[in-house]
Amino acid sequence: MLRRLIMSFVILDNFLTALTRKLFPTRYKLTGHCRQCGQCCRRIILTMTPAQARSPLFTNLSVRWISWLFGFRLLEIDHEHDSLVFDCRHQLADGRCGVYRWRPNVCRNYPLVDYFKKPVLLPGCGYTVAVARLEASGKS
Ligand code: SF4
Ligand code: SF4
């Protein structure tokens, strides 16, 4: 119950972020569609700042919080790229999501399109990346 309550705020936050992206479009956009291959649930990479990655306390608390709230399971701490790598206990045997309606924002927003860098796709992902039409047509 507490988890669901917190997730409601997390999802609301995601909705507001999506609204902002509509008002201020990103440079890149996604085309294509999800093939439901489930790859992106098998290796979920959450990046930390270098300072966060150097702190065992932060790392430990993050792993515990993410594991509890999202049901992710730590696979490894990637010290080279300052990131935590998880899989997910909610992934069904056929690769689909077992908590689709309540999935975390990292899942809702995958592949992530942010303002500063080109999205990175997993091999075989059904999406492709294109430059937004405004920029491609030479307008700014
Ligand atoms: S890797 Fe791409 S195609 Fe596969 S489940 Fe994730 S978003 Fe969908
Ligand atoms: S919550 Fe669902 S979409 Fe997210 S990683 Fe787990 S199985 Fe995949």
pLDDT digits (tens, 9 = 90+) for 81-103: 999 999 999 999 999 999 999 99
Secondary structure of residue 64 in the 3-state scheme: helix
Ligand nearest to the CA of 45: 2
pLDDT digits (tens, 9 = 90+) for 1-58: 888 888 888 888 888 888 887 888 888 889 999 998 999 999 999 999 999 999 999 9
The answer to whether 38 and 91 are in contact (CB under 8 A) is yes
Query: Which residue, 92, 99, 90, is CA-closest to 7?
Result: 99
> Which residue has 């990292």 as its token pair?
106
Q: Which atom of ligand 1 is nearest to the CA of 127?
A: 2
Nearest protein CA to atom 2 of ligand 2, as residue: 97
pLDDT digits (tens, 9 = 90+) for 55-80: 999 999 999 999 999 999 999 999 99
Ligand nearest to the CA of 43: 2
pLDDT digits (tens, 9 = 90+) for 96-138: 999 999 999 999 989 888 887 888 899 889 999 988 765 555 5
Position 140 scores a pLDDT of 44
Q: Other C-beta atoms within 10 Å of 113: how many? A: 19
Position 87 scores a pLDDT of 97
Separation of CA 62 and ligand 1 centre (Å): 25
Position 135 scores a pLDDT of 55
| Of 75, 103, 122, best ligand 2 pocket probe by most atoms within 8 Å of the beta carbon | 103
